[in-house]
Chain A
């Protein structure tokens, strides 16, 4: 009886875990990319994070804010510019230099005027636009999303982000692309109303951002070749770190916790068997 129940549960479980068939929108399955940080034993690669930060700085920060990030986060353990000698990121010279690259709004303490000053590690990342309306006005009405959590906020996580960045394709003939939008097969969308070509409606949708990552758009300080794929791979890794800076610490702590729990379970089981040895409890 129990066996039958387990088999039935497994069948239903299989159905539950299959991705739901979305009736309206479609998108291509994200590309199968691998990351240094995937899996329980995966960890971020500091050099990749540095390259990724460069891509964010040079390309993305023109339109995308990351308001949950502060410059000091770049210098915390696990971060791209962590240096063990500088436990306090406020002292980390690389972090201070990176922060000073940006100007942030402030009030002059003497006159009360609105001024701009170089950022310090304690400041949050400078936003390209002062508010949502300005962001939309500069981007054809579309709001470039904040990237602090983008990797966790999208189904498919880093695979999805990488696929969008590298997946731009010329629109199939017969697809009417609205002004200010771009066709991307990895973007979820329903293209039925824009399809005037032969054959089935193409999968994918329209995204407000044109393709950004082209070869050598960025020059990496460590000399790694800046192909479009490398740029996308590195910036996605950086964004994955930014979405959860403590991920490495979480996985490491998990090992310790599970090891303890397994040993403790063993001790408790032995105690249980010892205690119940002479009780007839079938």
Chain B
């Protein structure tokens, strides 16, 4: 969008089309886009995510040809896909595993943004659009998991829709509205199916905006230093189409290992039992990519407080471009910030661990611990509370304060002539 277009229509048809709808010019500009030449493999995850979205949409549309969203038949229709539809088992496993791979890629993509300061000016809107995509992904995945109508589908939906009821005054009415009844049931399933089909196309739209917002300032790069001249860049095609292609295939290898050799590893056995409103599973757990938020939700002893903390954990990310006061973008040159970053990443993994375990279970097996307020100190409840405090502490305290008091390393003059000898980080 910014900069000259060097596209020259070659044929008469191209010239004719170019003056009416310059779509070939648009495509050529995308392919020629000047991209920093020093991007490392953390930058391939944007392309990987676009491919994940396509895979999910294609497999999803195909599954919808066979799925029956009526509560009486939903579970059986999924099993029919697994047993009778030609290659149905493969398409279903790709779609289910694909959701996990999508989130794996998005978390790596987001952490890349945090480390290299990709959210900082002038890319604030890019970052915000990314968070909007993330929220839409979470809604899509949540609703998608309900569709097989297994025990976890039903009870996960029940738990999460119930927490909306904690909102004062209007909460219970909203919950009833969402349910279309007095509990999660057939009306809920039908509308979740409709919205699950819709949302990915909204995600695709926001992805378009996301790429547009990227192309205004251009990509960030590992040094965090702006592109100064054409010497710093290469055209996106073929240099990054091929590199991204290679990264996508490596990603597919991991994807294929799960689909073909461990297709149920990321799921839960209870979801192979039909939903039963009268029997609650031993432990209700969401899919792994929601575990950190589940931990935050359960850490706060107050129901509404838990909801606010859970949504707040994402809301605070929206403010990141403004609460990070550092003048230096990339943590490559911010050694203290880098240490806190790794602790933050570790904290997110710990939150995931807390979400996976029953709140009262002992963290250190065998250690008795003692009662502190409502729970044992050696319980996942208290670990989650510490980890939640650390999560918010990093974003709300460390990010603003560190930017003001740290002494960063000298940053290079430009991408092409780095001051320091190369140190990947």
A interface residues with partner B (beta carbon < 8 Å): 1-2, 4-5, 8-9, 12-13, 15-16, 20-23, 25, 40, 68, 73, 145, 148-149, 152-155, 157, 188, 243-246, 249-251, 253-254, 257-258, 261-262, 264-265, 268-269, 271-272, 275-276, 279-282
Residues B261 and A262 in contact, CB atoms below 8 Å apart: no
* A8 and B362 alpha carbons, distance in the complex (Å): 20
In-complex Cβ contact of B353 among A16, A157, A250 (8 A):
A16
- Chain A residues closer than 8 Å to B261, beta-carbon distance: 40, 251, 254
* A121 and B273 alpha carbons, distance in the complex (Å): 26
Interface SS of chain A: helix
Closest to B376 in A: A23
For residue A148, give the distance in angstroms from its CB to the closest CB of chain B: 7
Q: What 19 additional pairs, Cβ within 8 angstroms, besides A13-B349, A268-B245?
A: A8-B342, A22-B361, A149-B272, A152-B264, A244-B89, A250-B93, A257-B256, A258-B256, A261-B256, A265-B249, A265-B253, A268-B242, A269-B246, A271-B246, A272-B242, A279-B239, A281-B37, A281-B234, A282-B38
Interface centre among B272, B416, B425 (most CB of A within 10 A): B272
Interface SS of chain B: helix
Residues A149 and B79 in contact, CB atoms below 8 Å apart: yes
B interface residues with partner A (beta carbon < 8 Å): 37-38, 76, 79, 82-83, 89-90, 93, 234, 238-239, 242-243, 245-246, 249-250, 252-253, 256-257, 259-261, 263-264, 269-270, 272-273, 282-283, 338-339, 342, 345-346, 349-350, 352-353, 356-358, 360-362, 365, 416, 418, 422, 425
A-B contact pairs, 26 of them (CB 8 A): A5-B342, A5-B345, A5-B346, A12-B346, A20-B358, A21-B361, A22-B282, A149-B272, A152-B269, A153-B269, A153-B273, A155-B269, A157-B269, A243-B272, A244-B82, A254-B257, A261-B253, A265-B246, A265-B253, A272-B243, A275-B239, A276-B243, A279-B37, A279-B234, A279-B239, A280-B37
A-B CB pair tally, cutoff 8 Å: 127
- Chain B residues closer than 8 Å to A25, beta-carbon distance: 282
For residue A184, give the distance in angstroms from its CB to the closest CB of chain B: 17
Residues B242 and A261 in contact, CB atoms below 8 Å apart: no
- Chain A residues closer than 8 Å to B82, beta-carbon distance: 244, 246
- Chain B residues closer than 8 Å to A23, beta-carbon distance: 358, 360-362
Residues A4 and B263 in contact, CB atoms below 8 Å apart: no
Closest to B247 in A: A268
* A9 and B344 alpha carbons, distance in the complex (Å): 12
* A28 and B240 alpha carbons, distance in the complex (Å): 53
* A4 and B37 alpha carbons, distance in the complex (Å): 28
- Chain A residues closer than 8 Å to B90, beta-carbon distance: 250, 253
- Chain B residues closer than 8 Å to A275, beta-carbon distance: 238-239, 242
* A279 and B358 alpha carbons, distance in the complex (Å): 53
- Chain B residues closer than 8 Å to A149, beta-carbon distance: 79, 272-273
Closest to B259 in A: A254
Closest to A19 in B: B357
Closest to B93 in A: A250
For residue B133, give the distance in angstroms from its CB to the closest CB of chain A: 25
- Chain B residues closer than 8 Å to A254, beta-carbon distance: 256-257, 259-261
